[in-house]
Structure 1
Amino acid sequence: MDYDFKTKLAAEREKVEDLFEYEGCKVGRGTYGHVYKAKRKDGKDEKEYALKQIEGTGISMSACREIALLRELKHPNVIGLQKVFLSHSDRKVWLLFDYAEHDLWHIIKFHRASKANKKPMQLPRGMVKSLLYQILDGIHYLHANWVLHRDLKPANILVMGEGPERGWVKIADMGFARLFNSPLKPLADLDPVVVTFWYRAPELLLGARHYTKAIDIWAIGCIFAELLTSEPIFHCRQEDIKTSNPFHHDQLDRIFSVMGFPADKDWEDIRKMPEYPTLQKDFRRMTYANSSLIKYMEKHKVKPDSKVFLLLQKLLTMDPTKRITSEQALQDPYFLEDPLPTSDVFAGCQIPYPKREFLNEDEPEEKTEKNQAQQHQQTTAQTQAQQQSGTQQASTQQSSAQTNGNTGSTGANTGGGLQHGQDQGPPNKKPRIGPSGASSGTGVHQSEYQHSNSRLGYQSNIQGSAQSQGYSSSSQQSSQYSHQSHRY
């Protein structure tokens, strides 16, 4: 009887292959499975979905954690889990998500490649502000519901393409996410690997066993700097990426090379870190005496007295107890000055970024962070060589001009290749948006945002008719836009 019932029940279950067309549409890999671009076979809607197939013969703890969290969390800036499919015949699990055409890893890579091709196109500052605001708002919602993401990086920040949610940010890949009970009782985490090295907070690198949502804020600061410069601010070698030892010499060296060595008064509890003796043995304060975030960002034409720099400085505060919170960051003066953040990060522009490429089913796993680091180092070397060549040419031209009695100077405009449609805004304009509310109560926090009447101005009929302001999507740029793991 039980066998007949189970057979009948299995026959009535909805099968992914019967409902969705996805063959030949693999777009990448998540934390633990393949990701496919899919459409409904019955034509009930024209939406595009992301189907995530979990590998293996069972569900890992990471997968269970992601499913459990995503079924409860509802926010415009957190990727939505539409449905879970269980296939008893082949023991596969499928997760159905909204499909996002873009992510920050690809967007930043697009702009970095433009520099290497001597056609620098900077991310529009209005777009950067809108991206950062939506990331912070999504993380604020997670933190208000006692959830740490723990693996924030550009590849995990998705951006919706053309459609009703055009230009909305979606925080994805919740496989590392964890619940924490209270700000007064921070999570004691023993996982060997949490947060990709480049975006890992210094307290983690120094072996902190008790840490808080401040680790997500540090990662957001790293992403913010990368949006401003098109380069990972703390990139370094990534060998032994799965080591159980939290201390990573090269990563700390890179952080200190940019930020300077933390003074005792700036981070009093650093002496309590488990790896502090190793830090004292391996590092000398004077080595980094001339390093500071101000100097690093000035090289990228970000002034130290600007609101953008002041917010970045608060996000990248070494001492986690002094680091700004997501709620405080959402109220920062940076978001109150023009251009104001918008719900559509592409507002006023055509989307210049190529769509995701399909992969062959037998294609091997995509580039790891180690491969990405090598690729970034090669691109950086090419850019530096080109800059040196340009400097030599400029010097020659300047010498020639002085010989001829001219006082002109040569230079290239590297900052205005891309102009955002919101760059020219009316003065004294009140912000159109505000942070989600926080609550100290239990249970899942309902976002103040509604898709139809959100403070952020989420629109269901956003049109992309505005002409591009300096954007280009030539075949040459498209060919340099290689695929990287699609995170959901």
Structure 2
Amino acid sequence: MVDIEYKRELEAKRERVEDIFDFEGCKVGRGTYGSVFKAKRKDGKDDREYALKQIEGTGLSMSSCREIGLLRELKHPNVMTLHRVFLNHTTRKIWLLFDYAEYDLWHIIKFHRTAKVNKTSFNVYPNMVKSLMYQILNGIDYIHSNWVLHRDLKPANIVVMGEGSERGCVKIGDLGFSRLFYQPLKPLADLDPVVVTFWYRAPELLLGARHYTKAIDIWAIGCIFAELLTYEPIFHCRQEDIKTSTPYHKEQLERIFRVMGYPSDDVWPDMRKMPDFPQLTRDSITRKAYGKYYLEGYLMEKRLTWDLQSLLTIDPLRRPSAEDALKHDYFKIGEKPNEDVFGGMPIPYPKREFIADDEPDDNKQPQQQQQQQQQGAAAKTGGVPQQQPQPQQQQHHPHQQKVQQQPTGGVVAGGSGMHTVQHYPSASVQPPMHANMRGYPGGNMAPPPPQQQQPQQHPNYPRYQ
């Protein structure tokens, strides 16, 4: 039995987050599972800005524990950094200290989409999309090479650092859904039947694949790439059912086939082996109905040229790895990717504003219940969303509920975490852990399984060659 006096003495010596960081009145995000504050050190030892995420309740969910465990091991310039975890044994409050990221891809895309709708088109800076994609693939290559699947890649979970030493650096956040995939004891589909937000969910997941691979993350990155080019989600689907507990989703598959076409047996030989393939026939989804659709036709309609179409290869076995994608000529021809995705130019995107502490949060409990229905027994608690003002014409993002209106701004603490309200103007919407970074000098070693080697940190960020 632990001595009471010893516990008190230990508690007195424990560092408290309130004594180290100044964050009062600096709330920048709030969601179902907690709040996020913009913070700076009181002692002035550094002038960095941090994101303090307070997890509400009396403990940690399994997904939060998993995210904390992974982030403590993953050390890479393109992965969000978890610096410290604070636990107050008296109040039972838990605080996570992250990098503070001023922007995320969802806000960047929204900025350009709104400008497009308002006919005040403001295109992304030259080479910005290439730089964004290079860093996203670099980060996911590192994650995959250390036997981790992200399983929830979407624009809101890809953050971009603002002014400072890491200006324009892309970081992958929100690992609450991530899983180790080296020799799992059970199929991943048995542990989490529903993963990845609908619009970014690979077709093998929608057809109930029980054994899936890192190819599901590559598909999501392909969707993000297309969205960066068009400012619209390529597989936008109006029909949403956030309460579904099964991976099959008829409307989402129809949307994919309207862009990609219905795959033949040569294009995807194993499609007929998917557990939910018979449901396609029952729902009258056949090759004949989608014979005139193909990705190249979609790109021609949008007047686009796309160098990385292979990211959306419908057969997961033929989808390239992140390592392969990084070797594509897209990154070798013309201007090279930049560390600063803004290319040293002024940043046009609005910063986030502070949220009043006393604003009501009337929708927290229903939102929490709906997420638990979607994710099964393990509710996702890995992050805190940004909350946005609602335009007059609205379309709700999958798995997202109406929340209290908040000012626009950037993302914090490793991505949106929970699914926030994300609206698309209806006028514009159409019906690795890598021990050596392969995109950097000296990266030519394949990592052994995680139980044989601890992840290697990257103290320096080599410049792009």
**TM-score, normalised on structure 2?**
0.81
2:208 corresponds in structure 1 to 207
1:477 corresponds in structure 2 to none
Alpha-carbon spacing, 1:244–1:318, altered in 2? closer, same or farther (3 Å)? same
451, 456, 460: which one aligns with 1:451: 460
346, 350, 362: which one aligns with 2:342: 346
Alpha-carbon spacing, 1:28–1:438, altered in 2? closer, same or farther (3 Å)? farther
Partners of 1:263 and 1:125 in 2: CA distance: 38
Q: CA deviation at 1:267?
A: 0.6
2:413 corresponds in structure 1 to none
Q: CA deviation at 1:17?
A: 1.4
Give CA deviations for 1:122-155 in whole Å, capped at 9, x if unaligned.
Answer: 2235000000000000000000100000000000
Q: Which moved more, 1:243-252 or 1:139-148?
A: 243-252
Partners of 1:252 and 1:238 in 2: CA distance: 11
SS of the equivalent of 1:287 reads helix
Give CA deviations for 1:11-43 in whole Å, capped at 9, x if unaligned.
Answer: 111111121111222222478432111111121
Give CA deviations for 1:157-203 in whole Å, capped at 9, x if unaligned.
Answer: 000001110100010001001111159x9745431331110000000
2:318 corresponds in structure 1 to 322
Seq. identity, %: 61
Partners of 2:49 and 2:347 in 1: CA distance: 18
Partners of 1:126 and 1:111 in 2: CA distance: 16
CA contact (8 A) 2:339 2:463 kept: no
Once the two structures are superposed, the pairs formed by residues 268-287 of structure 1 within 5 Å of their partners are: 268-282=269-283, 283-287=285-289
2:447 corresponds in structure 1 to 440
- The alignment status of 1:376 with 2:424, answered yes or no, reads yes
Once the two structures are superposed, the pairs formed by residues 66-105 of structure 1 within 5 Å of their partners are: 66-105=67-106
Once the two structures are superposed, the pairs formed by residues 63-462 of structure 1 within 5 Å of their partners are: 63-181=64-182, 187-237=188-238, 239-282=240-283, 283-303=285-305, 309-311=306-308, 313-361=309-357, 362-364=359-361, 366=387, 369=397, 370=400, 375-380=423-428, 436-442=443-449, 443-446=453-456, 450-451=459-460, 454-456=462-464
Alpha-carbon spacing, 1:162–1:46, altered in 2? closer, same or farther (3 Å)? same
CA contact (8 A) 2:331 2:337 kept: yes
Partners of 2:202 and 2:44 in 1: CA distance: 46
Q: CA deviation at 1:90?
A: 1.3
Report the structure, 1 or 2, having the larger helix content.
1
CA contact (8 A) 2:209 2:275 kept: yes
CA contact (8 A) 1:99 1:160 kept: yes
Partners of 1:433 and 1:327 in 2: CA distance: 11
Could you tell me which amino acid in structure 1 is paired with residue 315 of structure 2?
A: D
Once the two structures are superposed, the pairs formed by residues 17-32 of structure 1 within 5 Å of their partners are: 17-29=18-30, 32=33
Q: CA deviation at 1:239?
A: 2.8
Partners of 2:201 and 2:32 in 1: CA distance: 17
CA contact (8 A) 2:187 2:210 kept: no
Partners of 1:13 and 1:189 in 2: CA distance: 40
2:62 corresponds in structure 1 to 61
CA contact (8 A) 1:214 1:323 kept: yes
Task: Output the aligned Cα RMSD.
Answer: 2.4
2:15 corresponds in structure 1 to 14
Partners of 1:118 and 1:434 in 2: CA distance: 43
Give CA deviations for 1:316-342 in whole Å, capped at 9, x if unaligned.
Answer: 011100101000000001100112101
Give CA deviations for 1:428-474 in whole Å, capped at 9, x if unaligned.
Answer: xxxx9669545231324426x5535x0437xxxxxxxxxxxxxxxxx
Partners of 1:97 and 1:39 in 2: CA distance: 12
Could you tell me which amino acid in structure 2 is paired with residue 341 of structure 1?
A: P
Partners of 1:262 and 1:342 in 2: CA distance: 37
Structure 2: any 5+ residue segments left out of the alignment? 365-386, 389-395, 403-419, 432-438
Alpha-carbon spacing, 1:241–1:222, altered in 2? closer, same or farther (3 Å)? same
SS of the equivalent of 1:135 reads helix
Partners of 1:318 and 1:380 in 2: CA distance: 26
CA contact (8 A) 2:78 2:170 kept: yes
Give CA deviations for 1:84-118 in whole Å, capped at 9, x if unaligned.
Answer: 10111111111101111110000000000100111
Partners of 1:358 and 1:277 in 2: CA distance: 50
1:466 corresponds in structure 2 to none
Q: Which moved more, 1:93-102 or 1:277-286?
A: 277-286
Q: Number of paired residues?
A: 401
1:400 corresponds in structure 2 to none
Q: CA deviation at 1:347?
A: 1.0
Structure 1: any 5+ residue segments left out of the alignment? 304-308, 385-431, 458-488
Give CA deviations for 1:289-322 in whole Å, capped at 9, x if unaligned.
Answer: 221111111222213xxxxx241x2100111001
SS of the equivalent of 1:170 reads strand
Partners of 1:31 and 1:363 in 2: CA distance: 12
Alpha-carbon spacing, 1:29–1:315, altered in 2? closer, same or farther (3 Å)? farther
CA contact (8 A) 2:227 2:233 kept: yes
Q: Which moved more, 1:438-447 or 1:336-345?
A: 438-447
In terms of Rg, which structure is larger? 1
